[in-house]
Amino acid sequence: MGLSAPEEGFAVAIAVEELLTSEILRPARYLGNELGSVHKPWDSATVRWVLTYPEVYEVGASNLGHIILYNILNAQPRQLCDRAYLPAPDLAAKLRATQTPLFAVESRRYLTDFDILGFSLSYELGATNILEMLQLAGIPLTWRERQSGEPGTEDREPGSESTQKQLTTNHQPLGTTHPIPDTRYPVPNSYPLIFAGGQTATSNPEPYADFFDFIALGDGEELLPEIGLVIEEGKKAGLSREALLLDLAQVPGVYVPQFYDMAADGSVHPNRPDVPERILRRVATPIPAYSIGLVPYVQTVHDRLTVEIRRGCTRGCRFCQPGMLTRPARDVEPEAVIDAISEGMRATGYNEFSLLSLSCSDYLALPAVGVEIKNRLKNENISLSLPSQRVDRFDENIAHIIGGTRQTGITFAPEAGTQRMRDIINKGLTNEELLRGVKTAFEQGWDKIKLYFMIGLPGETDADVLGIAETVRWLQRECSGQGRKRISFNLTISNFTPKPHTPFQWHSVSTTEFERKQALLKEEFRRIRGLKVNFTDVRISAMEDFVGRGDRRLSAVIRRAWELGAGMDAWWESLDRAFNAWTQAIAESDLTWKYRQVENGEWNLFHTNEGERIKDEKTPIPPSYDAPLPWDHIDTGIDKQWLKQDLQRALEAATVPDCSFEGCSRCGVCGTDFGHNIVIPPLPIPPFEGHFVPNQQKVQRLRVWLGKQGEMALLSHLDLIRLFDRAVRRAAIPIAFTGGFHPGPRISPANALPLGVTSTGEIVDFELTEPMDGADFQARLAAQLPAELPIYRVETVPVNTPSATQLLEKAEYTLVVSATQNIDSNESEPPTLEQWQQWVDAVKARDAIWQEQTTKSGKQQMVNLRDRLYKLSIGVAEEQETEDRGQGTERQQKALTTDNQPPAIDNLAPDTRYPIPESRFLSITLHYTGSCRNDGTLLRPEQVVYMLEKVAGQEFQLGAVRRDRLLLAPI
């Protein structure tokens, strides 16, 4: 499974390093050198994985499941696991323009170099991102194409009209043959095995069955290592792709779609006798230690340490797919949670952690565990967030855990506005419990609370819909206090979407009905103050329903929607465009009649019209609830008959108790295959020692001179500040804090360095609450910083003197400047060294060179750049000749280095790529000293180039830039 040579006629891919420049947005996303990243020797591994999260890095790198599986696989002998993410549009465009396949971030090898490539599929419409990544990697999209070695051979002939249609989509310019040439790998079966996992893949893999060699069902902690062992043995035995997949199909939890066919009624059955009729969902026990891992340089969606405290939920909410697909409930031992957080916060340097579960409050040891951790970390300005908690279990103990100086937000999910509806969905929440939880939060200092509600639930009437508004009014009346700001709410109103393997999988609501109910609420909300409301677009809900409950026919729809530009980002950037792409794909697949069923409410439990057809003659009679479903061959442990019985209980507004704490509900999960509920009883709650009080005492100021070299230049200023904060925490340095509502560490860089610029002369002030020896401080901090952030010097300066930021006056830079001439033409030649010197002298001779600038307030003003230039010189001597064009002279190299430091820029010598006449230089090295004050009086490198252009009367191009030194005013 390796990379073959490029076929003649295609452009040769360029090095990945050439793509990762400051020209792309947040290039640090793709560096693969974060703290916690694993770099195993390539040749030491027998099986090489890529775990791929089909979202941008900020989403994928903070996903807990992604981190856990990455750590587990890299802990296996003879196994190597790398990572890949959906590139942002700018990098994707570069990959296509340069014919460079998508790469894994640690090794920077193309995805086709690996044995196995796994995608996380956690959202119905997310499969389009997977197709995008496969195409960028140069991998055929379907298992049939990968086996045959020819793209599209299962449904189109090469060169046919449909093939050309595929290759001229919104994903590439018209007229190209292949954006990433599939034919670079012409050997059939030479591609990596492509698989998917995640909640959506587990619940109903059929809409995506054409794209994957196999699908991993359920928890992956034990399943993925087993898959790795099968692949290792298969490679040793030289098995064919089909034989290897047949071996994998014997592993519980592995579904190989090509060994199964869809019947006319949508059901799925084996097409050979040696594979199981039903595929078991895997269940594993959480291991918190594997949560400690990646610490990204860029800010991610969940920028914190996350530790799972409970997997599974047995509340039995009838709309909730995760609650059905993760049974039984499994609590994690409190000691393991406390150890993982204590160790993880020291190892990562995060200032926030999160305890994760479908319902954190159902972890009965939560108050004790949370208070214990808060007490241990009370002096370190660390906050805790709980993403999911039951309002009926919210009390003062939990408020202590998540409260404090850096108070996080708080969210509750009543789901419905009336008691009747909460009983129908089996929410297990009374009005009294709802009020008690919200009131406790208000009394503990929260004046803004987020609430989740849902409309379109079975049995819902207009009175139930309007009950949401009435509930909000009631909570506002009851939660008021003298001298307190009125409580406000942020509401999210989502549309009920039926999910497979839930009691409500047989119910759907028409788009028209959703729109009517949204209009009802919007009118009612106008009369309520202190309210912010977000409604889910009904088109997204309808499409989720259509795909999520579909069968194998939807693979063609997904593929065509992707070809028309319906990536996940399209839903947020242009919802109309994305929706139109999906509906066009549905129409071209001749499934419009099926989508109309969803739009019109395919099955409505409370408005039965059995036997009545929609006017479209293709529409069948609505199926009975005993009809086969496309996901019936997936054994989740939940008995289908029990789901129907629970649906009947919903019609009667009958509730079912939580089987973790009361009697068994007979759902069918508990047993040998899936295990049983594991519930840790409540523990004694230690006395709460109080919230963090920032230590603002400044005993010592240490001034640090350091560099920013290599790929660290691709780190933004804010990312660098975050890196310093975490490094200081990991090094246990007694940093002082600012005051206010959001206290931060007193770490003050003298000046922000532009993205992509290297430096050998940065200055940062660190203020401490306890004195430290400078050498000890340097050793401890350097041990926690990347090698490309070297510390050169540390000095103690008086605390009562001005900071480096206040003292900063000047900066010294080294630049590479190029003449923008076409050297392949005879019309002009590169300038001589004498011409370069004349231009430099002309700049220095001027009294004024004016440039128009825009102030922060948006006003235009003229600035004399010459006033801000103190020194300017060429970095090479006049007597230099060009005979030795390869290495540059000793004097050149000396000009590019500082004492005992290697040059930060590899190409600061005159351009040596072309056989040009003696003493002529396409590029030149310049040194300049300019003003650099934090009041905005700066002379930037591009402004030096501007001055050069003004005196020369021609354009120049700024190349590599290095800041050599920051100069402070004497005290």
- Is the per-residue pLDDT at 165 higher than 80? no
Q: In this predicted structure, what is the pLDDT of residue 131? A: 97
Share of residues in the chain with pLDDT > 70 (%): 86
In whole angstroms, give the CA distance from residue 589 to residue 933: 63
214-216 and 254-255 strand pairing: antiparallel
Q: Is 447 exposed, middle or buried (0-12, 13-18, 19+ CB in 10 A)?
A: middle
Q: In this predicted structure, what is the pLDDT of residue 162? A: 36
- Confidence grade of residue 486 (pLDDT, cut at 50, 70, 90): confident
- Is the per-residue pLDDT at 871 higher than 80? yes
Query: In this structure, are residues 524 and 469 in contact, taking their beta carbons and an 8 Å threshold?
Result: yes
Share of residues in the chain with pLDDT > 90 (%): 72
pTM of the model: 0.88
Phi and psi at 492, nearest 5°, equal -115, 120
Mutual orientation of helices 592-599 and 538-548 as an angle, nearest 10°?
120
Q: In this predicted structure, what is the pLDDT of residue 183? A: 35
pLDDT digits (tens, 9 = 90+) for 510-540: 899 999 999 999 999 999 998 999 999 999 9
Q: In this predicted structure, what is the pLDDT of residue 621? A: 32
**Which segment of 119-123, 522-526, 597-601 scores lowest on mean pLDDT?**
597-601
Mean pLDDT of the 546-570 span: 90
pLDDT digits (tens, 9 = 90+) for 617-640: 343 334 577 889 999 999 999 999
Q: In this predicted structure, what is the pLDDT of residue 178? A: 33
* Full DSSP string of 273-338: TTS-SSEEPB-----GGGG---B-SS--TT-SEEEE-EE---S--TT-HHHHHTPSPEEPPHHHHH
Sorted by sequence, the CB contacts under 8 Å of residue 442 that are 6+ apart come out as 449, 479, 481, 484, 487
In whole angstroms, give the CA distance from residue 416 to residue 783: 53
In whole angstroms, give the CA distance from residue 186 to residue 47: 22
Q: In this predicted structure, what is the pLDDT of residue 9? A: 34
In whole angstroms, give the CA distance from residue 562 to residue 568: 9
- Is the per-residue pLDDT at 156 higher than 80? no
- Is the per-residue pLDDT at 495 higher than 70? yes
Mean pLDDT of the 771-784 span: 97
- Confidence grade of residue 214 (pLDDT, cut at 50, 70, 90): very high
Mean pLDDT of the 91-117 span: 96
Q: Which helix (H) or strand (E) holds 454?
A: strand 448-455
- Confidence grade of residue 877 (pLDDT, cut at 50, 70, 90): very low
Mean pLDDT of the 777-786 span: 98
Q: Hey, which residues does 196 pair with through a beta bridge?
A: 119, 215
In a 13 Å sphere around the CA of 314, the CA atoms on its Cβ side amount to: 26
Which of the pair, 828 or 796, is modelled with greater confidence? 796
Which of the pair, 762 or 899, is modelled with greater confidence? 762
- Is the per-residue pLDDT at 828 higher than 90? no
Mean pLDDT of the 763-787 span: 97
Query: In this structure, are residues 548 and 204 in contact, taking their beta carbons and an 8 Å threshold?
Result: yes
Query: In this structure, are residues 875 and 924 in contact, taking their beta carbons and an 8 Å threshold?
Result: yes
Q: In this predicted structure, what is the pLDDT of residue 445? A: 87
Q: In this predicted structure, what is the pLDDT of residue 911? A: 44
- Is the per-residue pLDDT at 229 higher than 50? yes
In whole angstroms, give the CA distance from residue 768 to residue 780: 14
The secondary structure of residue 211, as a DSSP letter, is G
Q: In this predicted structure, what is the pLDDT of residue 571? A: 67
- Is the per-residue pLDDT at 765 higher than 80? yes
**Quick one: tokens of 867?**
């006033």
Sorted by sequence, the CB contacts under 8 Å of residue 529 that are 6+ apart come out as 486
Q: Which helix (H) or strand (E) holds 948?
A: helix 941-952
From the CB of residue 681, how many other CB atoms can be counted at a distance below 10 Å? Answer: 7
Q: In this predicted structure, what is the pLDDT of residue 279? A: 98
By 3-state DSSP, what share of the chain in percent is helix, strand and coil, each rounded to 5?
A: 35, 20, 45
In three-state secondary structure terms, 768 is strand
Task: Report the chain's mean pLDDT, rounded to a whole number.
Answer: 86
Q: In this predicted structure, what is the pLDDT of residue 385? A: 85
In whole angstroms, give the CA distance from residue 937 to residue 811: 12
- Is the per-residue pLDDT at 301 higher than 90? yes
Q: In this predicted structure, what is the pLDDT of residue 504? A: 94
Q: In this predicted structure, what is the pLDDT of residue 820? A: 79
- Closest alpha carbon to 24 in 83, 99, 92: 92
pLDDT digits (tens, 9 = 90+) for 624-683: 778 899 999 999 999 999 999 999 899 889 999 999 999 899 999 999 999 999 999 999
Mean pLDDT of the 289-309 span: 94
pLDDT digits (tens, 9 = 90+) for 333-348: 999 999 999 999 999 9
Q: In this predicted structure, what is the pLDDT of residue 570? A: 61
Q: In this predicted structure, what is the pLDDT of residue 407? A: 66
pLDDT digits (tens, 9 = 90+) for 401-460: 887 666 677 899 999 999 999 999 999 999 999 999 999 999 988 989 999 999 999 989
Peptide bond into 915 cis (omega under 30): no
- Is the per-residue pLDDT at 597 higher than 90? no
Mean pLDDT of the 724-740 span: 94
Q: In this predicted structure, what is the pLDDT of residue 305? A: 95
Buried b (16+ CB within 10 A) or exposed e, 266-280: bbbebeeeebbeebb
Q: In this predicted structure, what is the pLDDT of residue 403? A: 72
Q: In this predicted structure, what is the pLDDT of residue 8? A: 36
